[in-house]
């Protein structure tokens, strides 16, 4: 009987290996737009809109929008490092925000729209700094790159109605992103690199 069970066990398919995911956090203005950009990167499992780098616990959209909590709108990305590298995520981030502004992105202004790369370990910090140096050489614009690279802090997911906004409300989202001048400015900044 033991031999039969052993033989059956050999024939049974092995359970799939658990997927080991990594986390990356980026801020690039309106989290709806950055969420869309990051979710389109192959190897990204999820991109969650939320708030980071602030002083208040469990902030709401209304609180963050007031500019008094210190948070910025951000996206927490879960990705499979076997399918996409952190460097590729950094490339997607750079080409989807305006790195020449401090407290604004496109038509949105205030500290809650400040861009940033939020590193989770020393390797991410090293790669982010190398990526910034690379884009400082590649850029086609004269202004300096001012996007900071800082240590990740607590990330608070935004309310459900903000998640996948570009999918749930495609007409409103398109009206917002085009009306805000997002894509025209990105093309102006990055030109051929965005193609």
Catalytic residues: 30
Rg (CA), the chain: 20
CA dihedral 108, 37, 64, 123 (to 10 degrees): -120
| Contacts (Cβ under 8 Å, ≥6 apart) of 90 | 117, 127, 128, 131
Here the tokens at position 176 are 């917002």
Task: Say how far apart CA 27 and CA 115 lie, in whole Å.
Answer: 5
CA distance 174 to 165: 10
């Amino acid at each position: 009987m033991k031999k039969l069970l052993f033989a059956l066990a050999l024939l049974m398919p092995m359970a799939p290996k658990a997927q080991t995911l990594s986390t990356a956090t980026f801020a690039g203005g309106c989290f709806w737009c950055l969420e869309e950009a990051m979710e389109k990167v192959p190897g990204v499992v999820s991109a969650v809109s939320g708030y980071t780098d602030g002083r208040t616990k469990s902030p709401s959209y209304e609180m963050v929008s007031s500019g008094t909590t210190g948070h910025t709108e951000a996206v927490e990305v879960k990705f499979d490092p076997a399918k996409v590298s952190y460097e590729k995520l950094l490339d997607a981030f750079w080409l989807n925000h305006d790195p020449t502004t401090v407290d604004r992105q496109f038509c949105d202004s205030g500290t809650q729209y400040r861009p940033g790369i939020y590193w989770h370990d020393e390797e991410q910090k090293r790669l982010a700094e190398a990526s910034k140096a690379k884009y400082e050489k590649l850029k086609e614009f004269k202004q300096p790159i001012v996007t900071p690279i800082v240590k990740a802090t607590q990330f608070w997911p935004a309310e459900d109605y903000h998640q996948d906004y570009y999918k749930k409300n495609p007409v409103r989202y398109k009206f917002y992103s085009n009306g805000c001048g997002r894509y025209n400015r990105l093309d102006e900044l990055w030109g051929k690199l965005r193609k």
